[in-house]
Amino acid sequence: MKKNMKKFAEEIISSLKKVYPDASCELVFENPEQLLVATILSAQCTDERVNIVTKKLFQKYKTLKDFSQAEFKILAEEIRSTGFYQNKAKNIIACSTEIMEKHSGVIPKDMETLITLPGVGRKTANVILGSGYEIPSGIVVDTHVKRLSFRIGLTEQTDPEKIEFELMEIVSKEDWILFSHMLTWHGRRRCKARKPDCATCEIEKICPKNLQVQ
């Protein structure tokens, strides 16, 4: 069964590579430090909204040291439109402070250390390592990856971490980073939650017909 799932995953990936060969993180950033902040802000928020906020934010706060020294109330107000802004502001300041004090201002390049930082879980760590450092540490399971991997039959799990580990078993490590980007792009552009465009979908022929749209 697992062998068949690997073959199915390879077919999906091969098809998506033809459509989204340049798929990448859609958060706008210039370095891993900016990506860290943007990813924390992206929780329960669209990348589009985050990019609007960070365009001004990164002009004021240019380094993690700047964020570590930010005034909580001011930063919270500056990121208010991303939602859960008080918790995000707290995490950004605390995370930046810990990186400055314990890691000489350099974001760690390993999963084990990253997930000990305030506001950083597996998903955020995978984004930093994959899109920031090009290190395939795992597969980013965002809303789109979770929805599409279930919808097209790559997993029956609903928990993001369990989904990730299942996908890691059937997707080649060399494709981990690109795979999550392609699935996210496909979810935003073609296989939308409420009204998937199955008629012109590039993977429609290999998408299981017996699955109801979830």
Positions marked active-site: 123, 142
Token pair belonging to 138: 């795992």
> How far is C-alpha 69 from the chain's CA centre?
27
Query: Are 142 and 123 contacting, i.e. CB atoms less than 8 angstroms apart?
Result: yes
Token pair belonging to 3: 């062998």
Q: How many Cβ atoms are within 10 Å of 211's Cβ, its own excluded?
A: 11
- Of the candidates 109, 116, 114, 75, the one whose C-alpha atom is nearest the C-alpha of residue 92 is 75
Q: Give the phi and the psi of residue 115 in degrees, each rounded to 5.
A: -75, -5
